[in-house]
Amino acid sequence: MQGARGIEEALTFKDHTWWIACLCAGALTIALSIGFGLIPNISGCGDDGGAGSIIAFELVRTPADVAALFGQPPCTGPFREAMRLATWIDAIAFIPVYSAFLIAGLLALRPNGRIVALAGIAAVLLAALFDEIEGVQLFRIMTDLPGSQPIIDLLILLVRGKFALLGIGALAIGWLLAKPGGAGRITGLLVTLGGALTMVGLYGDEYARFLTLGSALSWLTLLGVAAVRSLRGRRAAHS
């Protein structure tokens, strides 16, 4: 009982404390997202379908898809090294940071719906786990290009599961934002729309661009809310 009470107390920081954490983690999340595109040779050696080479690699379905994306020498080697670096950054920095960003937002919104917030947190944590295991599969493929179908079959499940869970997390945040005491119906609708677009991206590879579009809409909206709430909380603390 004492341990459970301690956890409960840890989760009941002042709302603006969670908003500050959300803002800091969110700003770093966006910075890392932009940083992926600045990695030399990350553009890929083949057609990425407009989704970007990193997402295209995550969404491969066969060794032939991998071979097409990684192309032929002299392009293959530099692109593989770029993708290795991106995968390491993803595992070590991006996944923990975006998880902290979303979870801090859900904890800040917890007074608006405890069950929904905790469900959203569970979805984000599970998505992060899927994402880390996904990275292991990507490294296995890059070690022995173009990989094997069993490895890619597992990758397919992990990637689609990750995005579905992130979509659920966004829907939870959107619902909580739209409730009285949240940031308003418009912000809630924007985050919900982002979660819905992420789900649309799972409908087929031709809709893959909606995966990043949906996340961008949800995450940028949440970041804006966190900035406003952090500022308001700071002003209230000094008034």
pLDDT digits 0-9 by tens, 136-146: 999 999 999 99
The per-residue pLDDT for 201 is: 87
Q: What percent of the chain stands above pLDDT 70?
A: 90
pTM (2 decimals)? 0.89
Higher pLDDT, 178 or 132: 132
pLDDT tops 50 at residue 231: yes
The per-residue pLDDT for 78 is: 96
Residue whose C-alpha is closest to residue 107's, from 187, 25, 193: 25
CA torsion sign for 221, 227, 233, 239 is: negative
The per-residue pLDDT for 233 is: 60
CA distances for 40 relative to 15, 35, 52, 75, angstroms:
40, 10, 14, 12
Work out the mean pLDDT of the chain and round it to a whole number: 89
What's the whole-number mean pLDDT along residues 31-50? Answer: 91
SS3 assignment, position 98: helix
* Measured distance CA(101)–CA(115) in Å, rounded: 19
60: left (phi over 0), alpha (psi -120 to 50) or beta: beta
* Measured distance CA(154)–CA(133) in Å, rounded: 10
* Measured distance CA(116)–CA(171) in Å, rounded: 10
User: Could you state, in order of their start, the residue ranges of all structural domains in the chain?
Assistant: 15-237
What is the rounded (10 degree) CA torsion for 109, 32, 220, 179?
Answer: -10
The per-residue pLDDT for 189 is: 92
Residue whose C-alpha is closest to residue 40's, from 81, 93, 73, 89: 81
pLDDT tens digit string along 81-108? 999 999 999 999 999 999 999 999 999 9
- In the DSSP assignment, the letter for residue 113 is -
pLDDT tens digit string along 175-207? 999 987 656 789 999 999 999 999 998 888 788
SS3 assignment, position 45: coil
